[in-house]
């Protein structure tokens, strides 16, 4: 368990966001120290004691080796309640990375590459997100624009077989690749700035601001936790309720562990085979 460097108790304030963010910032400013137990560099944990914390907006972690920890995900544990809609997640883990395409040749085992599958209207149609019923509800569904769904996956070359023109990568691909979706491509990938790493979210109950009885009139955060441009992070023993999304690892995030977590009361609406999220 990562050592605790800051502790907060529940307050009677209408908004605890500033004090929680201040504790996160203080731990982010600590020096990285090697942990023999974890075999990595860490800063420390912010511990939120049992009780309810009210948050307007988002909580942001932007440095490596920081853990946001509660004292349990049950209703009598540590509860963070979103009290005002924001156009983003309740908790954001965000790295800073600028990347460029590398040389247009693949020669070396261990090189970082991007495997890209272009946005395909056929794929959008096959999953029934290409059109809405004539009298659809604009709050609960929308048509997907195929150009927004070009998928890019960062991988590392494990082996190159020039005889069969085959490249083996370190992580299996999770999308279907084939001629019917248009030509994909593989290109070398160069990091100008490293992503952040080893950030954890533990033992928390997160409550969104959606009214399940009147979901169409609500605005709410989506998703509960967003992980972006990071590596080797984890989310453990977290319950997320009444958000428009659960726990999302996006873009260039890799080796993200999500375990013993539960998502309840998603604000998703099924409409003639489609699911739309506001």
List the chain pLDDT tens, one digit each, 278 residues: 899 999 999 999 999 999 999 999 999 999 999 888 888 899 999 999 999 999 998 999 999 999 999 999 999 999 999 987 656 789 999 987 655 555 555 566 778 888 888 888 888 888 877 765 544 554 445 577 888 888 888 888 898 888 988 889 988 887 777 788 888 888 887 665 557 999 999 999 999 886 555 555 444 456 899 998 888 999 999 999 988 788 988 767 888 999 999 998 876 543 333 333 33
pLDDT of residue 278: 32
User: Angle at Cα 130 formed by Cα 240 and Cα 86, nearest 5°?
Assistant: 35
pLDDT of residue 64: 95
pLDDT of residue 269: 43
pLDDT of residue 132: 56
Q: Which domains does the chain have, with CATH numbers?
A: 4-96+194-277 (2.160.20.10), 99-191 (no CATH)
Q: What DSSP letter does each residue of the chain carry, written as one string?
A: -PPEEEEE---S-S--HHHHHHHHHHHHTSPPEEETTTTEEE-EEEEE-SEEEEEES-EEE-STTEEEE-S-SSTTSEEEEEEE--SS-SEEEE----EEE--S----TT-EEEEEE---HHHHHHTT-S---TT--TTT-----GGG--EEEEEEEEEEETTTTEEEESS---S---GGG---EEEEEEESSPPEE--EEEEEEEE----TTSGGG----S-SEEEESEES-EEEEEEEES-S--EEEETT-BS-EEES-EEES--EEEETTEEEE-
pLDDT of residue 38: 81
Quick check: 82 and 220 in contact, CB under 8 A? yes
């Amino acid at each position: 368990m990562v050592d605790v460097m800051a502790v907060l108790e529940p307050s009677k304030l209408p908004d605890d966001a500033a004090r929680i963010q201040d504790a996160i910032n203080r731990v982010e400013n600590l020096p990285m120290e090697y942990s023999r137990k974890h075999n990595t560099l860490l800063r420390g944990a912010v511990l939120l004691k049992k009780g309810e914390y009210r948050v307007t907006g988002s909580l942001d972690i932007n440095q490596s080796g920081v853990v946001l920890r509660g004292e349990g995900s049950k209703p009598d544990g540590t509860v963070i309640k979103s009290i005002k809609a924001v156009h983003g997640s309740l908790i954001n883990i965000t790295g800073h990375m600028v990347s460029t395409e590398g040389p247009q040749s693949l020669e070396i085992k261990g090189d970082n590459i991007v495997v890209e599958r272009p946005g395909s209207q056929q794929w959008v149609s096959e999953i029934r997100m290409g059109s809405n019923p004539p009298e659809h509800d604009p709050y609960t569904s929308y048509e997907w624009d195929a150009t927004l769904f070009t998928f890019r996956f960062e991988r590392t070359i494990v082996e190159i077989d020039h005889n069969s023109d085959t490249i083996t990568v370190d992580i299996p691909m999770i999308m279907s690749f084939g001629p019917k979706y248009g030509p994909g491509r593989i290109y070398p990938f160069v990091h100008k700035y490293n992503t952040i790493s080893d950030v954890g979210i533990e033992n928390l109950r997160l409550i969104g601001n959606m009214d399940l009885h009147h979901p169409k009139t609500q605005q709410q955060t989506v998703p509960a936790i967003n992980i972006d441009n990071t590596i080797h992070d984890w989310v453990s023993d977290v319950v997320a309720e009444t958000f428009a999304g659960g726990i999302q690892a996006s873009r260039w995030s890799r080796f993200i562990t999500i375990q013993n977590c539960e998502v309840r009361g998603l604000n998703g609406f099924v409409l003639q085979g489609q699911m739309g999220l506001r």
